[in-house]
A and B are shown apart, each in its own frame.
Chain A
Amino acid sequence: DAKTTQPPSMDCAEGRAANLPCNHSTISGNEYVYWYRQIHSQGPQYIIHGLKNNETNEMASLIITEDRKSSTLILPHATLRDTAVYYCIVPSIQGAQKLVFGQGTRLTINP
């Protein structure tokens, strides 16, 4: 698995954009970047994934640098319900993916 590095915690004001960085400098050319989040004591929730191009869905946007060594998850208008631990993961290349969860970034949205 490509190792990922994320800041342990971040704060963001409600209604503002939350930008969560992730470094994955050892990512190989055909490995995807996935983002999940875990709200306290619940199962992780898939957010978005990407390979090279920027991606957007109803939850978030994913910006991947041209060299693919880092990415940023953007929550455009953060709400209190977005308070969670956010995980950036580069799964191993095998038939059924093995997700290796690190410590993630604990994002706190403040009113």
Chain B
Amino acid sequence: ETGVTQTPRHLVMGMTNKKSLKCEQHLGHNAMYWYKQSAKKPLELMFVYNFKEQTENNSVPSRFSPECPNSSHLFLHLHTLQPEDSALYLCASSQVLSREADTQYFGPGTRLTVL
């Protein structure tokens, strides 16, 4: 238990569906991250939010839309996805006070399958 929760843990959706992934951190951190891990590939950073402001968009297609209403919650809204978007989506958080303190804690991930 890392203090970062993600829901749902598994999601199957069609290409025309709209769904959202939710991440919540109970650690009092001020930065939150979305990562994508496709089969047999390394984790890829998607988005970074620092004090609710998006500071990084790693060339992610617009069919992925992040939302960070406060420092404890992060959403990833999904619409018109493609089968190749099937992957493990991981959320992480960190406390950005100093560089040494900036350890990221990951949630368990949402396993997404797009049919």
Contacts and interface: CB of A to CB of B under 8 A. Distances in A.
Q: Answer yes or no: are A and B bound together in one complex.
A: yes
Interface of A: 30, 32, 34, 38, 41-46, 49, 51, 91, 93-104
A46 B93 CA distance: 12
- Decide if the interface of chain B is mainly helix, strand, loop or mixed: strand
Contacts of B103: 34, 46, 49
A42 B48 CA distance: 20
Given A41-B88, A95-B55, A102 B48 contact: no
A4 B55 CA distance: 24
Given A44-B90, A45-B2, A96 B102 contact: yes
A32 B43 CA distance: 20
Interface string B76-91: 0000000000001010
Contact of B50 (A30, A91, A93, A96): A96
